Amino acid sequence: MSGGLLVAGTTSDAGKSVVTAGICRWLVRQGVKVAPFKGQNMSLNSFVTREGAEIGRAQAMQAQAARVEPSALMNPVLLKPGSDRSSQVVLMGKPVGELSASGYHGGRQEALLGTVVDCLERLRGTYDAVICEGAGSPAEINLRRTDIVNMGIARAAKLPVVVVGDIDRGGVFASFFGTTALLSPEDQALVAGYIVNKFRGDVSLLEPGIDMLRGLTGRHTYGILPFAHGLGIDEEDGLRVSLRGAVRESVVAPPVGEDVLRVAVCAVPLMSNFTDVDALAAEPGVIVRFVDRPEELADADLVVVPGTRGTVRALEWLRERGLARELARRAAEGRPVLGICGGFQVLGEHIEDEVESRAGSVAGLGLLPVRVRFAPEKTLARPTGEALGEPVEGYEIHHGVAEVLGGEAFLDGCRVGAVWGTHWHGSLESDGFRRRFLERVASAAGRRFVPAPDTSFGALREEQLDRLGDLIEEHADTDALMRLIEQGAPAGLPFIAPGAPA
């Protein structure tokens, strides 16, 4: 078997990432050696592989669903937005420059198709099946000529395509039909059918529409997946929760101690790797919220300043919003603050940036004795160590090089009073370290909070991935999906007018 499938979507956030992960988990449980793939990803939420390559966190999560080690082959092109008009281009896990959207789509993207196809073919030579994820919608007719992630890669690799639609948004039948009808005859020939995502209610009420859709398009619906709460998988396109909403819909569990612990995360611009706080939200009795106003820090027991692709811009935003003053007040009162990566950098004394913002010398918040200089080369690493008497693992993604001038050592950063800073993403996923850290936070905050002794973030992630596999196994036509993966798109699929414009 050397099969493949492209999971496209009617829109961004239709559910492509979770469906891809679910199919990977279902296949590996069937004994199929499977790998995920996304030719081009746009995300500020990234991960570092063991060989030191930066890829989208969604692909790392999908690799975990497939029970394989993530690699740069699974996400050869990663775009990290630095503004509304430009992104850093990461090729095969390493940054190669900054390009405007017009510059990228004006020629550079098309030139990368060979690299993307080569990576996919290398994976297909190693694995029984490769489940590819598209981006946005395949019917973005303004971008089809240079497409390397949707129908471009499907055509180049002769992949069958299923289109996922989010019925919770409404208009899913029109979206399926319209998406298909805006593709060229050659592209339409690869679109085998559809998957309905996030359905609530009685499936029998939907079935007449499914039958009519088949009559209109000649295509099969491969699954109707129910709306599922609490699927805390890694996002890729941005923060999909309200700034004042809970970070995750986790299983409600009472606190072990007498008090809960409230965590406020500053929603800085170009926030990156905000999944760092998922491990906090997984703890019974820990309430995590994203905030953007100083008064929202008042009752927080811990404030997290997360990573960002724009350190200087985040610093300006904190000052403009009055959050900088509140952070300084907290530090003076001995109330806990944690800075991670870019958030660690803004807590320092001074930033010298001729690389990311090109702002030159900028004064930091001065809460930690740290001076930061931005280097042209990005640090990409998977460090391990010990802190608070517990082993810790993490990963580093940053241009800023920190010179620590004092304080108590804390991972690669430092601690002064109740202010902590580190470049390490993912450190809070180390269970023992997270418990010790929360004990220190609770003590400084005067809360009678006790971390649960048996919370395993890794086990919770595995449970979530199994739930994704269950969704596919229980609510998709798995026999038809397996035939599609093994044999490709059915022959003779009808053309739906008008097709792609000339």
> Which ranges of 322-407 does DSSP label H, i.e. alpha helix?
323-333, 342-346
How many whole angstroms separate alpha carbon 100 and alpha carbon 415?
A: 38
> Which of 220, 398, 399, 425 is an active site residue?
425
Bond into 255 cis (ω within 30) = no
The first and second tokens of residue 322, run together, are: 């009055």
> Which of 341, 398, 399, 423 is an active site residue?
341
List beta partners, residue 166: 197
Inter-residue contact 348 to 395 (CB < 8 Å) = no
* DSSP element (H, E) containing 370: strand 370-381
- SS3 category, 138: coil
Backbone torsions φ then ψ of 81, nearest 5 degrees: -60, 135
Q: How many CB atoms lie within 10 A of CB 240?
A: 9
Q: Is 425 a catalytic residue?
A: yes
Who's near 129: CB < 8 A, 6+ residues apart? 1, 2, 3, 4, 5, 27, 32, 33, 34, 35, 485
Q: How far is CA 374 from CA 114, 144, 234, in A?
A: 33, 37, 28
Q: Is 341 a catalytic residue?
A: yes
How many whole angstroms separate alpha carbon 339 and alpha carbon 413?
A: 10
Backbone torsions φ then ψ of 197, nearest 5 degrees: -115, 150
Q: Which residues are catalytic?
A: 341, 425
